[in-house]
Structure 1
Amino acid sequence: MALEACDFRTLENLCPGRVGAPGSPLYEAGRRVFSRAGRIRSPAAVLRPADRNQVAAIMAWANAAGIRLSIRSGGHSFDGFPVRDDGVLLDLRGLSAVRYAPSGYLHAMTGATVGDIARALDGTGRAMPIGECPTVGVGGLVLGGGFGQCTRHFGLTSDFLAEATVVTASGQIHVTNANLFWGLRGGAGCVGIVTDLVFHTVPIQQVTGVTLGWRWDAAVEAILLFTQLMHTAPSELDLQLSIRTTGADRYADEASAGPADVIPGTPRVRIDGQFLGNQDDARSLMRPLLEHPAALHASIREESFFDAVFVSNDFLHDPAPATLRPHRIASDIGRGALGAVEAAAIVGQINELQFAPELPGGAVGIEAINGAVAAFTPQETAFFHRGQDFVYHWGLGDRLPADAGLAARHDALLQEIRHDLAGVLTGGRYVNYADILDTPNDWWGDDTDQLMSVVQEHDPDRILISRLNP
């Protein structure tokens, strides 16, 4: 779609100096996304409002004109969903203030990043569950649920949401009512535009950061020991396992950075995370991993919550060629520890991604989501995947220009691994790792109808582009 000159004049009146027409610096910055393949997308305009009143005015204009809006908090979604060739894009990076209050509440605007939140809490003796990547926008994180360090002990980021300010399709500003609040916690922004967030925090004392390398030839044992430990360990221990391809032409290459546990051309196996306690207790709990002969270069150290949160943040490090960037991320929700057959299937897929010359590499991550996430039932919030054990994220490298044959190969790889792990997968998927093969029912399960009902009440004309109404 294209906007008329009169539309741009109207928008400039509503949002002075913050309207990006095609070709302008604001437009080009706004449409850039994490995955290079997404950077060719061309919305009709990019708007960067300065406050909630401008958001409300833009929303009312779009509703009256029948023009659809897509929203980005300002961080990155792996598939670049908000940046579309249809509609107008609201880039909320201008709404980025963060303030910690002595009362224990943290106030953040939706364009703030995870790094901003962590810095605001650093030194306060308070914490909340946040993601590991500092460039992620907090709005997108919390609205999709929000996994991260301490999830097993504290729950989801959305579970710590105490209040939100939301602009609905009519342009009305709400300080969340019960219906909207239900949809905000896991509904992925389908019900309105969130401008302000208030989180409660909890006291935190000792934190021990963990980094452990592992030999690739024992990767099956690493997966088995890791999932068994995370299935039974106290919630204070929260680890994640990642296996990534290496080499100059591989996705997620880290070899040139020189980590001691990386052998170029061989997949890298690593376990990262934190323990809410001292390092002696952490070592005791992790003994099955630490004393295994395949364990490499363990680092267990007491540190600040801020430092421990970002211990695993090497995902954005990418010295591979410019045509290779993380592009496609998919996910699955799992219940129970893995068996040898499932672990071998995961290793087999990474082996193929590493050594098949026609594939540009990939990765798998396994993150524990049991423990405190189950404090709510699936019906109490729009986050449906309560009472489960793991989220698996599958990373698949891509090329430019887009390659239909490679996309089909990726589809086949996902279908194959899901078949091999069918005995432990629930059929659910995480909306913040959304993939083209997913459906709303995969993300929201039995909550889908209720979420649709909330959207119908507040956005009957489907002005907001969302995962539920693409």
Structure 2
Amino acid sequence: MTTTTRRTALALTGSGVLAALAGCNPATSSADPLPARGSAAAAPTTRDWIAFARTVQGPVDLPGTAPYARTKRVFDTRFDANRPAAVMVVQRSSDIARAMRFAQRFGLQVAPRAGGHSYVGASAANGTLVLDLRPLHSVSYDARSRSVLVASGATLYDVKKHLAAVGRGIPTGTCPTVGAAGLALGGGLGVESRAHGLTADRLTEARLVLPDGRSITASAAQHSDIFWALRGGGGGNIGVVTVLRFATHPAGEQGIFTLTFAGGAAVRVLTGWARWIRTTARSRWAGVHVDATGHGRLHVSVVGVTAGGDERAAAASLVHTIGTSPTATSYRRLGYLDAAVYLGGGTTSPRQRFTAGSDVLATVDAAAAAAVVRAVTARSRAGLPGSALLDPLTGAVTDLAPGATAFPWRRHTASVQWYVGDSSYASARDWLAAAHRSVGPYSAGGYVNYLETGQPARRYYDTNLDRLATVRRTYDPQRRVHSGLAV
């Protein structure tokens, strides 16, 4: 979950080369990247880059040029010092194949960028050719099929705004600047997951450019192996996705409730929430925040989203299951787009510095809940910021088998996102490691959209890793496309 309330709570606690590259029209026709295999080619020279830039429509920005410092940036400011080999601003999808051929010639890895929210800065990785897809941000709804065609550079707000105008929606997260493509390719948890499944579960086809330059469409009927991998396998493991088609659902008013509890009730809140979230109506969603506030104290809150008009009844049902009264409550009933704006903290989100990771819990019993609470309490005692944000994996997420898509966590209760805002990276990483140890006996793995540096791929894909690795080797044997994770 990435809610507005969550964002609010966390906030509280060479010129000549430039001219040659940026001004050319085509002729008529974070983690460091893994080394691309099968090539010992020399790095491209400035002359090579200029020649390449003349074959594509958008600018190609190199280190030392004025636009490069801007176009290489991603959401997390921690990666501002990264140094990609170049950033190609993609203005037409046909140029991606040209980029793939150039990368093949010089042994480069290609790093696709949509929203740029990778937790390991994958789309600003050192030495890669970054393909900035943000200019490709069209959203088109087809009333006959009730599906929406989303270009890979579109953000969640782009999609929500367009669909809300026709009374439709797709299940997504809430941060407005997250790329719809990246979210969907990793699975896509959000406030409508219990009602309508993951973002990936609504994907019906995707167009992508493979590392060999071929453009294909993947669906259940064609290139089904790739289609399987795209639904939860994460971005950058097979090729560069250019367009996605999703089945939509009706979108109406939403009810939102927030319940705040005493810090000492944290374990009881987590266990009660876990019981409730497994049995309550699918139209109801709720996530829990446990935040460090210093001196060992905790702030505990639950944010819920329901069908409009059900927010108070849903909250009362949850409180009854938890068995303790909240210290504060709030309720709202908003139109679909207004709810998206509220939950996302606005229509855009400023760049920020953060460190985060995840665990996936099969159950949230008293022992698992206590382990979560101990981890956040330790951070609070140290006088440092840190949060555990639990999102449900129940409801419609369970409708598919764990192997039906690359997303494996279909029989689990919750994901835990460990989140640290602007703080020392070394301190935050140490705390993440301690948090993983605390919940280790209860953790099945992690969520690939909350990727962490240095973690093995099996932690994110579980029993689906071998099949995913086979697909990746089939279409990208040289690991030409960079994802930040070795699959």
Q: TM-score, normalised by structure 2?
A: 0.83
Secondary structure, counterpart of 2:446 in structure 1: coil
**Do structure 1's residue 144 and structure 2's residue 144 form an aligned pair?**
no
Deviations along 1:426-462, one digit per CA (max 9) or x if unpaired, are x221100011242111111121111111112211222
Deviations along 1:74-93, one digit per CA (max 9) or x if unpaired, are 34122212211122111111
**Do structure 1's residue 429 and structure 2's residue 446 form an aligned pair?**
yes
Taking the aligned partners of 1:192 and 1:17, their CA distance within structure 2 comes to 20
The residue aligned with 1:250 is none
**Do structure 1's residue 119 and structure 2's residue 136 form an aligned pair?**
no
Secondary structure, counterpart of 1:14 in structure 2: coil
Unaligned residue ranges in structure 1 (runs of 5+): 248-263
Q: CA RMSD in A?
A: 2.7
Is the alpha carbon distance of 1:274 and 1:287 closer, same or farther for their aligned partners in structure 2, counting shifts above 3 Å?
Answer: same
**The one of 338, 344, 359 aligned to 1:332:** 359
Q: Map 1:217-228 onto structure 2 (within 5 A).
A: 217-228=264-275
The residue aligned with 2:369 is 343
The residue aligned with 1:181 is 227
Is the alpha carbon distance of 1:141 and 1:97 closer, same or farther for their aligned partners in structure 2, counting shifts above 3 Å?
Answer: same
The answer to whether the Cα contact below 8 Å between 2:357 and 2:432 also exists between their aligned partners in 1 is no
Structure 1 residue 391: Cα displacement = 0.5
Deviations along 1:24-68, one digit per CA (max 9) or x if unpaired, are 343222322333321111011111111210112111221233221
Q: For this pair of structures, how many residues does the alignment match?
A: 439
The residue aligned with 1:194 is 241
**Do structure 1's residue 51 and structure 2's residue 92 form an aligned pair?**
yes
Q: Map 1:23-172 onto structure 2 (within 5 A).
A: 23-103=64-144, 104-172=146-214
Taking the aligned partners of 1:309 and 1:143, their CA distance within structure 2 comes to 21
- Which segment is superposed worse, 448-457 or 163-172? 448-457
Structure 1 residue 311: Cα displacement = 4.3
The answer to whether the Cα contact below 8 Å between 1:72 and 1:91 also exists between their aligned partners in 2 is yes
**The one of 396, 410, 413 aligned to 1:386:** 410
Structure 1 residue 326: Cα displacement = 4.5
- Percent of residue pairs bearing the same amino acid type: 29
The residue aligned with 2:481 is 464
Taking the aligned partners of 1:408 and 1:117, their CA distance within structure 2 comes to 34
Is the alpha carbon distance of 1:342 and 1:381 closer, same or farther for their aligned partners in structure 2, counting shifts above 3 Å?
Answer: closer
Taking the aligned partners of 1:350 and 1:306, their CA distance within structure 2 comes to 33
Is the alpha carbon distance of 1:57 and 1:211 closer, same or farther for their aligned partners in structure 2, counting shifts above 3 Å?
Answer: same
The residue aligned with 1:300 is 331
Structure 1 residue 468: Cα displacement = 4.3
Q: TM-score, normalised by structure 1?
A: 0.86
**Do structure 1's residue 211 and structure 2's residue 268 form an aligned pair?**
no
The answer to whether the Cα contact below 8 Å between 2:57 and 2:91 also exists between their aligned partners in 1 is no
Deviations along 1:217-241, one digit per CA (max 9) or x if unpaired, are 3222222222221122121111111
Q: Map 1:308-387 onto structure 2 (within 5 A).
A: 308-313=339-344, 326-339=353-366, 341-357=367-383, 360-387=384-411
Structure 1 residue 313: Cα displacement = 3.5
Secondary structure, counterpart of 2:205 in structure 1: strand
Letter in 2 for 1:46: V
- Which segment is superposed worse, 230-239 or 271-280? 271-280
Taking the aligned partners of 2:121 and 2:322, their CA distance within structure 1 comes to 39
**The one of 17, 21, 32 aligned to 2:62:** 21
The answer to whether the Cα contact below 8 Å between 1:273 and 1:312 also exists between their aligned partners in 2 is no
The residue aligned with 2:438 is 417
Is the alpha carbon distance of 1:355 and 1:2 closer, same or farther for their aligned partners in structure 2, counting shifts above 3 Å?
Answer: farther
The answer to whether the Cα contact below 8 Å between 1:231 and 1:337 also exists between their aligned partners in 2 is no
Taking the aligned partners of 1:388 and 1:347, their CA distance within structure 2 comes to 19
Secondary structure, counterpart of 1:213 in structure 2: strand
Structure 1 residue 188: Cα displacement = 0.9
Letter in 2 for 1:197: L
Q: Map 1:267-278 onto structure 2 (within 5 A).
A: 267-278=298-309
The answer to whether the Cα contact below 8 Å between 1:113 and 1:138 also exists between their aligned partners in 2 is yes
Structure 1 residue 291: Cα displacement = 8.0
Letter in 1 for 2:403: Q
Taking the aligned partners of 1:408 and 1:292, their CA distance within structure 2 comes to 34
